[in-house]
A and B are shown apart, each in its own frame.
Chain A
């Protein structure tokens, strides 16, 4: 049997290949985020200071909603033709699949963020007073917080009849602490205030939920 790391790698590469060919997740996410940026930029006309206060919330809510699209897609292709059963009957460990899916979603959402952030900066005339590297750090740990739980709950709602509705219902309440930390950290950094507390909170959140998801994923995968 291959090492779990090798299985994670081939599964991740397979997912990237499938997404590259279908572009299901990235197109829907981009379109959705673009709509949010444009609609909100017409709705508000904030000053530079006001932009710094609201941008954190706007950006992360847009990314959270857009991520849900990717999260639904990632498992949808596994239940088409029941391919997931082929994985389940193989000796490959469940957590390799979970980590590969989470990393894949992390890459998709990061690509989205990289493409959308310049637009946010232009539309909201954003200029950070605090260090930009801290914003990058928040983006990384914040994105991980979204996708690790999102991947887990998307797998959990896989066998439910209305999984597109079920995922946000499960994911959003549990993401509130992370979302609060992401928004507060982003706003603090943009305004030049300290964000250390919020970053530590996010890192702790990531560690706790990644561990819990890894411990429970096998049961979720094999649930009937």
Chain B
């Protein structure tokens, strides 16, 4: 009996994104399976963040098509997506808990037990009353990850989650994300710290000049084409 591959959770077809005359994505075509952790790598300007923002519905494709969980309209699946950007996406004047309580209401999550749960999951204290503006960069990144996990999304889109995070905390974040992947989440991580994901990532997606140029199982790439 032959094993049939599960249908892709994300399909990108000839995706082009232009900002004025500059094409940040130049015909990206790819399929991504559920329950995998993808590390998206490439130099600055390769189109990694643009690809992530387009998947998150924050950039409209100039051309091409994206299908996520079988839907092509972002609004239909936005509750299944968690997006973490390079900035924290948190209000500096409010505590972590206050921030998460607000975002929880946007997803229709009542009470604050889920907020406390995700704050603990990223290794922070839900009772911390300090405003986020007074957090260290590492704490802010972790709180930002907690916000991303809040609505228990099937797909996580994470842009540079380990930047300015110390090695120990970054490794803890990787372990947390690997556990999430094992629980069926599909995770896309844009990073310049690829070695952190060497053991955890299922696939490395290499981007250059707005295109996916290679997909590898490990960190080493094949001979340059």
Indicate if A7 sits at the interface (CB-CB under 8 A). yes
Complex alpha-carbon distance, A82 and B103, angstroms: 14
Given A83-B89, A85-B83, A85-B85, A18 contacting B94 (CB threshold 8 A):
yes
Which A residues lie within 8 Å of B98 (CB)?
17
What does DSSP make chain B's interface, helix, strand, loop or mixed?
loop
- A contact patch SS: helix
Q: Is the CB of A90 closer than 8 A to any CB of chain B? A: yes
0/1 string, B58-70, CB within 8 A of A gives 1: 1110000000000
Q: Could you tell me which residues of chain A, from 84 to 110, have a CB within 8 Å of some CB in chain B?
A: 85-92
- Partner of B106 from the list A77, A80, A91 (CB cut-off 8 Å) is A91
Contact with A along B88-106 (1 / 0, CB 8 A): 1111111000100011011
Q: Does A10 contact B (CB under 8 A)?
A: yes
Tell me which residues across on chain A come within 8 A of B89, comparing CB atoms.
81-83, 85-86
Cβ-closest chain A residue relative to B153: A89
Judge whether B147 and A86 touch: CB under 8 Å: yes
Q: Is the CB of B78 within 8 A of A10?
A: no
Hey, which chain A residues are within 8 Å of B177, CB to CB? none
- Say yes or no: A7 contacts B106, CB within 8 Å: yes
Q: Which residue of B lies closest to A22 (CB)?
A: B93
**Per a CB cutoff under 8 Å, which of B56, B59, B79, B83 touches A224?**
B59
A-side contacts of B168, CB under 8 Å: none
Please indicate the chain B residues that have their CB under 8 angstroms from the CB of A222 in the complex: 60
Residues in A neighbouring B45, C-beta threshold 8 A: none
Q: How far is the CA of A222 from the CA of B60 in the complex (A)?
A: 9
Contact check, A87 vs B87: say whether CB atoms are below 8 A apart. Answer: no
- Report the Cα distance A77→B93, complex, angstroms: 10
Is A81's CB under 8 angstroms from B88's CB? Answer: yes
Interface residues in A1-24 (C-beta closer than 8 Å to B): 1-2, 6-7, 10-11, 14, 17-18, 21-22
* Cβ-defined contact, B79 with A91, below 8 A: yes
Contact of B57 among A21, A86, A88 (CB under 8 A): A88
Identify the closest chain A residue to B90 (Cβ). Answer: A81
Interface centre among A2, A6, A21, A89 (most CB of B within 10 A): A89
Give Cα A80 to B133, complex, Å: 11
B108 contact set on A, CB distance < 8 A = 1-2, 91
How long is the Cα–Cα vector from A10 to B108 in the complex, in angstroms?
11
**Contacts known (A21-B93, A90-B107); A1 close to B79, Cβ less than 8 A:** yes
Contact indicator B87/A89 (Cβ below 8 Å): no
In the complex, A86→B150 CA distance in Å? 12
Within 8 A of B (CB), among A32-80: 77, 80
Question: A6-B105, A81-B88 in contact; A89/B94 too (CB < 8 A)?
Answer: no
Contact with A89, one of B19, B57, B102, B105 (Cβ below 8 angstroms): B57
The answer to whether residues A86 and B105 also contact, given A22-B93, A81-B89 and a CB cut-off of 8 A, is no
Shortest C-beta distance, B219 to chain A (Å), equals 30
Query: Within the complex, which residue of B79, B92, B93, B103 is in contact with A86, where a contact is CB–CB below 8 Å?
Result: B103
Hey, which chain A residues are within 8 Å of B102, CB to CB? 10-11, 14
The answer, yes or no, to whether B25 is at the interface (CB within 8 Å) is no
What's the least CB distance linking B192 to chain A, in Å?
19
B57 touches A87 (CB 8 A): no
B102's nearest neighbour on chain A, judged by CB, is A14
User: Which residues of A are in contact with B by a Cβ distance under 8 Å?
Assistant: 1-2, 6-7, 10-11, 14, 17-18, 21-22, 77, 80-83, 85-92, 222, 224
What are 25 inter-chain pairs, A to B, with CB distance below 8 A? A2-B107, A2-B108, A6-B105, A7-B105, A10-B105, A14-B94, A14-B102, A18-B91, A21-B93, A21-B131, A81-B88, A83-B89, A83-B91, A85-B85, A85-B89, A86-B89, A88-B58, A89-B56, A89-B58, A89-B78, A89-B81, A91-B78, A92-B107, A222-B60, A224-B60
- Enumerate chain B interface residues (CB-CB to A < 8 A): 19, 56-60, 75, 78-79, 81, 83, 85, 87-94, 98, 102-103, 105-108, 131, 147, 151
Question: Which 3 A-B residue pairs are closest in the complex by CB-CB distance?
Answer: A86-B89, A90-B106, A92-B106
